[in-house]
Amino acid sequence: MSTGAPVLRFAPSPNGRLHLGHAYSALLNADLARRMGGLCRLRIEDIDPVRSKPELVEAIVADLAWLGLTFPEPVRHQSQHMDAYRAVLDGLIDRGLAYPCFCSRGQIRAQAAALEGHPHDPDGAPLYPGTCRRLDPARVAGRLAGNAPHTWRLDMEAALRIAGDRLGYTAFDEAGTRWVQAAPARWGDAVIARRAVPTSYHLAVVHDDAQEGITHVVRGQDLEAATDLHVLLQHLLDFPVPRYRHHRLILDPGGEKLAKSRASQSLADLRQAGVTPEQIRARLGFG
Ligand code: GLU
């Protein structure tokens, strides 16, 4: 039940140890929640059955506790809600807003390379050229019945026919709020369910933000462009649109974005090297 108080969340994916960038995001969420008189939830975004590891979930909780952050129960684990995502996906399929795609990544790259000046999405991947969008329905049914590997893609054109072109969201920061016009078309027919699971990050995150009553989404600038797609999905699914804040990314001394694969940057390693939580807070600007 909504109490009217702000609800924020920190939503890491357990496919590596937390680094300083995660610490910044978690501390900022907790700090804003406290200052707004709301609460900050922890959500484990473990939809990837290969990369998500239970021991990493435990490590995340331990690292956050070491930083001084604890979260209200229950902690949501996305892997436990696949039926809910399936239902949302089925709804989009039934409405003609999603279609199965049998192309591999390599095929898509090759298809795009063959088209001169083919556009890329904000993450740098070639836009899906629509190869599977108009496949013969009987052939599609046969391939699905035969369990041919496939993803599900949003039919962007059909989605925009419903949503129109006036989509947007309210962004907030210390200076105030501003309206941001969303441009979801730049994602093309985005993948909304991956091969092994009935969802993708985009579908699961908008579902869970709605389900958990999240009023303010605070996350890194690297996800700012994805918000355009999220706003579109929220419109299609009749979910409320939270306010968004996309914070700066913490860079390594060489000016590079911290990558989870760089073990030297993990909080665990910093801890082992004798760095204290107070020093981390101070370094990140939370005195
Ligand atoms: N799970 C995502 C990540 O670890 C963050 C999702 C979000 O905050 O919307 O990058």
DSSP 105-153: HHHHHHHHHHSTT--B-TTSPBPP--TTTT--HHHHHHHHHTT---EEE
CB distance 45 to ligand 1 below 6 Å: yes
DSSP code at position 74? P
Query: Ligand 1 atom closest to Cα of 25?
Result: 8
pLDDT of residue 277: 97
Give the separation between CA 186 and CA 151, rounded to whole angstroms.
19
Question: For residue 22, which atom of ligand 1 is closest to its CA?
Answer: 4
Nearest CA, atom 7, ligand 1: 11
Task: Give yes or no for residue 13 CB within 6 A of ligand 1.
Answer: yes
Give the pLDDT of residue 116: 87
| 42 touches ligand 1 (CB under 6 Å) | no
pLDDT at 281: 96
How far is ligand 1, taken at its centre, from the CA of residue 58, in Å?
Answer: 17
State how far the alpha carbon of 285 is from the alpha carbons of 232, 247, 269, 280, in Å: 34, 13, 20, 9
**Amino acid identity for residue 267 in this structure:** L
pLDDT at 1: 45
CA atoms of 61 and 267, how far apart (whole Å) = 12
Query: Residue 69: CB within 6 Å of ligand 1?
Result: no
pLDDT tens track of the chain, all 287 residues? 456 899 999 999 999 999 999 999 999 999 999 999 999 999 999 999 999 999 999 999 999 999 999 999 999 999 999 999 999 999 999 999 999 999 999 999 999 889 889 999 999 999 999 999 989 999 999 999 999 999 999 999 999 999 998 999 999 999 999 999 999 999 999 999 999 899 999 999 999 999 999 999 999 999 999 999 999 999 999 999 999 999 999 987 777 777 654 555 799 999 999 999 999 999 999 97
Q: What is the pLDDT of residue 257?
A: 74
Q: 28 in helix, strand or coil? A: helix
203 CA to centre of ligand 1 in angstroms: 12
The atom number, within ligand 1, closest to the CA of 45 reads 1
* Greatest pairwise CA separation for the chain in angstroms: 63
Q: Is the Cβ atom of 227 under 6 angstroms away from ligand 1?
A: no
